[in-house]
A and B are shown apart, each in its own frame.
Chain A
């Protein structure tokens, strides 16, 4: 396996030149930690935040740190996630990519504090999710893959519930709700029971609830599924703006185009194992014709 340290990309078929930047590739270090160290030593790319003032890596605070994450659902079960390691800084949009059952949702659920994990470390905004769960959770907002909302509440009741839990002052929640309404356009339906909502509307109210406290870290599991094209576009624009304001977004998706368009970096997961952490923005900047889909499928086929 070869690796391009400019683009942070690995190539299963020992490609001598990077299809992204055209640079010569090098043999990949045997472990992922060594690989990460190589990046942090400056051989990899420096992060380019969207709309953020161009600052050095050291100036951009690390919001998420995941190190050597291992998770299994029962003692007898196989590992659902093995040695996943990545970090995200302020202003970054990071995509988790992988096939069905690869371990994306499990990783996100561990990050959100929904699921316990066997080994590893998850630090959110400087707080370890195991040791300081409340502080860690206070700085994140999340949208689950099943868009779980209290369906017997009205949309407004749900948003008020979330605002109370995250202790959002009244004036702020009014202001934020107005801003969120412009993006998600739920209209009068916000006064209806969530149980009467369509799939897309539930997703919208779920996103609004997760943003009412303006979290530093926004985690979304399959956020674009079920959204109409207009809302999808609005959500993508919003994600750009939200990250530009210095917040971090992590999301999982199957939509390669969305990922390629939205993300600064992509973490590829296959069978619970992290296989790559690549800087898509840089690759596209260097090679606008880069075929991300082909790259993804090639990685998926390696066994």
Chain B
């Protein structure tokens, strides 16, 4: 029998995916708070982007080369670079989409045993990958092109071609992604069992992203402070940009095309690239699909660990701590949120205080480094400590197994809190050392910030652990990994940020206002220490009381989590 594409079956497969996606929005599973938080974050990011990108376009278009302004050339360069970044971003997202749909999706195993033709499956998978890429293309191209169009007064052609490119860009990026998908998956599988290496790679990559972020933050500061950013774009830099843009294929063709420059050349380029990409994408994705269906390249690598022996008798508390570490360190998403983020938190504090301190000094003329350091430490602690929001849920069915062991509930909870505190304290120590060493605050103040950060983390960890226990939703995933955590994570984020603002934000604003109104603001410095200490300690005590309230009874009566 010939393998033909069965479009009704394609529809059924896509419907299945849609239904699975809708499940998160169903009653009892829909995280309203998380959804609103996400919308708010996207809206803030979009607003931030539009405002600063618009302002940057204004400045960039006036940059002269050979003492002559060349706005059309500048716009072409700007759009080429922007499209290049979008292509890179979408290639990465495409690789994850292909990995998700081809290698990690459970449905392939099931479909390989069903009367579903490979071609039908291939079309369904391709549509699914295209759909996810289309969303990125839509958001990114619309944001860039609309801002550019408004800032430079573009005509109908620009808008129409933007719409066309929104549909074409996913095809191009899927092809690039499909070429890289196999090596990407091979690296992923290689790192899967080499946890230390994976930790180093992931942490370095994230650190790189933060450095990039700090660079953007610095540029934003320069824009805000009105520093002449044009000095950065001297003749040498502009020559470099012009040369680079000549080689940024196919981003430069897309820029030429939407700007109606060298139409024949750019259209030919785009048509050829799109056609070639479509063929490449289809061929490679089909070969991946065939390989997956035939060889079932999924599951864990058969990695042999060094021979181990029985260990000497240790306490049950140590065993629980070790278990916490192993479970977290060997689950990539948890390893990232616990360890990588904790290690990188001081970096975020440093970048932000670097920008914030000079910004406040220039704009308001006040030195509020202590308050700013406190505020940033609390804010980033709140975001970093979110890992503890799944302290109970991530146990999955093993929570019940631990419950059946002869270990008291106090010991179980203490091991979790203790482990989270170790991670948090390490992060706080590095952060305080960075603040002290860079001279933003004195060593004494750094010690105070460390103490406040630690107490604040303790409060958040206690609260999050109990909140998660009260609202536990165990994952049915084999390793208990949380894919969809209900409202717990978003609640902990919102509350953490709220308290960070309440404690750090209030003293920061109060100090600025005092400094603006009174000349002797410095003499009110002690107020910061008193307010922050009192509120933080009160919050910590309340959180601890919340954690232990009736815990023993609740623990032994626990039958929640949705697994039993």
Return chain A residues, CB-CB under 8 Å to B315.
164
B404:A113 contact, CB within 8 angstroms = yes
**B481 vs chain A, min Cβ distance (A):** 10
B313:A168 contact, CB within 8 angstroms = yes
Given contacts A160-B310, A188-B307, 9 further A-B contacts (CB under 8 A): A113-B403, A114-B400, A116-B556, A116-B557, A160-B311, A170-B312, A192-B305, A195-B479, A196-B303
Interface hits, B542-560 → A, CB 8 Å: 556-559
Is A151 part of the binding interface, using a Cβ–Cβ cutoff of 8 Å? yes
A109, B305: Cα distance in complex, Å:
34
Is A61 part of the binding interface, using a Cβ–Cβ cutoff of 8 Å? no
B400:A165 contact, CB within 8 angstroms = no
Return chain A residues, CB-CB under 8 Å to B331.
152
Take A133-B556, A188-B304, A196-B300 as given contacts and tell me if A150 and B323 are in contact as well, using a CB distance cutoff of 8 Å. yes
Take A146-B397, A156-B308 as given contacts and tell me if A164 and B319 are in contact as well, using a CB distance cutoff of 8 Å. yes
What mask results when residues 369 to 404 of chain B are scored 1 for a CB within 8 Å of chain A, else 0?
000000000000000000000000000111011011
A161:B302 contact, CB within 8 angstroms = no
Is B193 part of the binding interface, using a Cβ–Cβ cutoff of 8 Å? yes
A191, B312: Cα distance in complex, Å:
17
A14, B199: Cα distance in complex, Å:
69
Interface size in chain A (residues, C-beta < 8 A): 46
Take A150-B323, A161-B322, A167-B313 as given contacts and tell me if A138 and B406 are in contact as well, using a CB distance cutoff of 8 Å. yes
Return chain A residues, CB-CB under 8 Å to B564.
73, 109, 115
A174, B403: Cα distance in complex, Å:
26
Between-chain CB contacts (< 8 Å), 9 pairs = A73-B564, A113-B403, A114-B401, A116-B558, A161-B319, A163-B313, A164-B311, A173-B310, A192-B303
Return chain A residues, CB-CB under 8 Å to B302.
192, 196
What mask results when residues 324 to 343 of chain B are scored 1 for a CB within 8 Å of chain A, else 0?
00110011000000000000
Is A148 part of the binding interface, using a Cβ–Cβ cutoff of 8 Å? yes
- Among A109, A154, A165, A195, contact of B308 (Cβ-Cβ < 8 Å): A154
Question: Which residue of chain A has its CB nearest to the CB of B318?
Answer: A164
- What is the size category of the interface that chain B forms with chain A? 35 or more
Is A153 part of the binding interface, using a Cβ–Cβ cutoff of 8 Å? yes
A177, B309: Cα distance in complex, Å:
10
B404:A150 contact, CB within 8 angstroms = no
A281, B308: Cα distance in complex, Å:
43
Is A137 part of the binding interface, using a Cβ–Cβ cutoff of 8 Å? yes
Take A151-B479, A196-B302 as given contacts and tell me if A191 and B308 are in contact as well, using a CB distance cutoff of 8 Å. yes
Is A11 part of the binding interface, using a Cβ–Cβ cutoff of 8 Å? no
Return chain B residues, CB-CB under 8 Å to A166.
405-406
| Most chain A C-beta atoms within 10 Å of own C-beta, residue among B193, B327, B397, B404 | B404
Is A157 part of the binding interface, using a Cβ–Cβ cutoff of 8 Å? yes
Return chain A residues, CB-CB under 8 Å to B303.
192-193, 196
- Among A116, A157, A165, A191, contact of B316 (Cβ-Cβ < 8 Å): A165
What mask results when residues 130 to 156 of chain A are scored 1 for a CB within 8 Å of chain B, else 0?
100111011000101010111111101
Return chain A residues, CB-CB under 8 Å to B316.
164-165, 167
- Among A153, A169, A188, contact of B326 (Cβ-Cβ < 8 Å): A153
B556:A165 contact, CB within 8 angstroms = no
A169, B331: Cα distance in complex, Å:
30
- Among A142, A163, A177, contact of B404 (Cβ-Cβ < 8 Å): A142
A154:B323 contact, CB within 8 angstroms = no
8 smallest beta-carbon distances between A and B, as pairs: A164-B319, A152-B330, A138-B406, A137-B406, A112-B404, A156-B308, A196-B300, A116-B557
Is B478 part of the binding interface, using a Cβ–Cβ cutoff of 8 Å? yes
A136, B96: Cα distance in complex, Å:
49
Take A153-B326, A196-B300 as given contacts and tell me if A191 and B307 are in contact as well, using a CB distance cutoff of 8 Å. yes
A154, B308: Cα distance in complex, Å:
9
A113, B403: Cα distance in complex, Å:
7
**B151 vs chain A, min Cβ distance (A):** 51
Return chain A residues, CB-CB under 8 Å to B310.
156, 159-160, 163, 170, 173-174, 177
A134:B408 contact, CB within 8 angstroms = yes
Question: Which residue of chain B has its CB nearest to the CB of A129?
Answer: B556
A168, B406: Cα distance in complex, Å:
13
Interface hits, B463-486 → A, CB 8 Å: 478-479
**A184 vs chain B, min Cβ distance (A):** 15
Return chain A residues, CB-CB under 8 Å to B301.
196
A137, B409: Cα distance in complex, Å:
13
A73, B313: Cα distance in complex, Å:
38
